[in-house]
């Protein structure tokens, strides 16, 4: 319990220590350590004096010197350190403290074990819930047996009648749910269900990742109807589509989809640029016509808009 031997802070300057001398003072410190280690209440046997401090010589003379200055007392079988119990615990008190700490530790360990068992029992004693179909089937079987026993009972009570009625209705509901599941088959997960609008021609639509894109590509019929629109009159649609293909090969357009929406936006920008130049040329006359933008300039403007 006590891994140390208390020594007064004025020990090196105490009058008795000064009179005893350095070697006798060192021997006394060894005696304090011995008494606290083996709980002798300050008693030092004769046979232990020589080994109190390894390296000291003439320990018998040093012990007699300690007795002379009043630091030790001569007793039967050895020596007694003077006033040892004033600054050190007795063996009885040390044992009492150890018993108290041991009892407190055992009590705390028992409380922790009981708490762990209580928590474990609370979470592990609950039976795992079964699937709804199994529960319905079991309740149907149990209710059928309950109804059979109730009918054969010679003296039925109102409580048993109500119980049989309830269990019979539960059995009917469970069997009807089981029949419905058997007829329609297991319900697929939500991830495998598709909206009715996408289930056409037996083709499965690819999953879209990232931002939403137009999954409908531009076909010949759609392009022909697009060219016939009045808004694109006077616009070379095939030339603009070629420009769009070239832009998709650039670093800004790489990875983008040539969808219907992108084609319409491209043609709208081209038509806007064309309509903006034509009125300005008609108003200024043939001699002062503002030069039209080159295809490269128009492509740069469009690339800036789409970036």
pLDDT value at position 139? 44
φ, ψ (nearest 5 deg) of residue 4: -145, 165
Binning pLDDT at 50, 70 and 90, where does residue 151 land?
Answer: very low
Q: Which of 118-122, 157-161, 236-240 has the highest mean pLDDT?
A: 236-240
Residue 17: pLDDT over 80: yes
pLDDT (tens digit per residue) in 225-284: 888 888 888 888 889 889 998 988 998 888 888 888 888 998 898 888 776 655 555 555
Q: Higher model confidence: residue 31 or residue 132? A: 31
pLDDT (tens digit per residue) in 70-107: 999 999 999 999 999 999 989 888 888 888 888 888 88
Q: Which of 101-115, 116-130, 164-178 has the highest mean pLDDT?
A: 101-115
pLDDT value at position 153? 47
Place of tokens 């936006």: 265
Q: Higher model confidence: residue 173 or residue 296? A: 296
Q: What percent of the chain has pLDDT over 70?
A: 60
- Residues 9, 1: Cα–Cα separation, whole Å: 22
Residues near 104 by beta carbon (within 8 Å), at least 6 away in sequence: none
- Residues 280, 286: Cα–Cα separation, whole Å: 11
- Residues 137, 173: Cα–Cα separation, whole Å: 10
φ, ψ (nearest 5 deg) of residue 44: -120, 115
Other Cβ atoms less than 10 A from the Cβ of 171: the count is: 20
Binning pLDDT at 50, 70 and 90, where does residue 208 land?
Answer: low
User: Among positive and negative, which fits the CA dihedral 107, 109, 112, 117?
Assistant: negative
- Over residues 2-27, the mean pLDDT reads 92
User: Long-range contacts made by residues 48-55, C-beta under 8 angstroms, separation at least 24?
Assistant: 48/78, 49/78, 49/79, 52/27, 53/26, 53/27, 53/29
- Residues 33, 87: Cα–Cα separation, whole Å: 13
Binning pLDDT at 50, 70 and 90, where does residue 148 land?
Answer: very low
SS3 content of the chain, % helix, strand, coil (to 5): 65, 5, 35
Strand ranges of the sheet holding 72-75, from the earlier edge strand across to the other edge: 43-45, 78-81, 72-75
The CA-CA-CA angle for residues 246, 252, 253, to 5°, reads: 45
- Residues 267, 263: Cα–Cα separation, whole Å: 6
pLDDT value at position 278? 56
Bridge partner residues of 75 (DSSP): 78
Give the residue among 193, 1, 199, 216 at the shortest CA–CA distance from 97: 1
Give the residue among 51, 46, 37, 47 at the shortest CA–CA distance from 88: 37
């Amino acid at each position: 319990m006590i891994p140390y031997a208390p020594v007064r802070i004025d020990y090196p300057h105490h009058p008795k220590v000064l009179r005893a001398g350095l070697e006798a003072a060192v021997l006394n410190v060894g005696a304090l350590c011995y008494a606290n280690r083996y709980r002798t209440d300050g008693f030092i046997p004769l046979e232990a004096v020589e080994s109190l401090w390894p390296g000291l010589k003439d320990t018998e003379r040093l012990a007699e010197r300690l007795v002379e200055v009043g630091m030790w007392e001569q007793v039967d079988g050895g020596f007694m350190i003077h006033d040892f119990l004033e600054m050190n615990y007795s063996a009885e008190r040390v044992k009492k403290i150890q018993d108290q700490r041991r009892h407190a530790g055992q009590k705390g360990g028992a409380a922790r074990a009981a708490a762990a068992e209580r928590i474990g029992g609370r979470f592990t004693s609950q039976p795992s819930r079964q699937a709804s179909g199994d529960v319905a089937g079991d309740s149907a079987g149990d209710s059928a047996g309950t109804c059979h026993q109730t009918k054969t009972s010679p003296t039925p009570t109102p409580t048993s009648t109500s119980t049989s009625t309830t269990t019979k209705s539960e059995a009917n509901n469970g069997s009807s749910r089981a029949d419905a599941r058997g007829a329609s088959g297991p319900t697929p997960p939500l991830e495998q269900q598709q909206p009715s609008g996408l289930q056409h021609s037996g083709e499965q639509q690819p999953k879209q990742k990232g931002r939403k894109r137009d999954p409908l590509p531009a076909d010949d019929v759609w392009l022909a109807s697009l060219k016939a629109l009045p808004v694109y009159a006077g616009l070379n649609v095939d030339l603009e589509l070629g420009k769009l293909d070239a832009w998709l090969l650039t670093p800004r357009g790489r990875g983008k989809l040539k969808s219907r929406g992108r084609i319409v936006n491209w043609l709208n920008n081209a038509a806007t640029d064309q309509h903006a130049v034509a009125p300005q040329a008609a108003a200024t006359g043939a001699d002062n016509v503002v030069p039209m933008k080159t295809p490269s300039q128009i492509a740069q403007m469009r690339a800036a808009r789409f970036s």
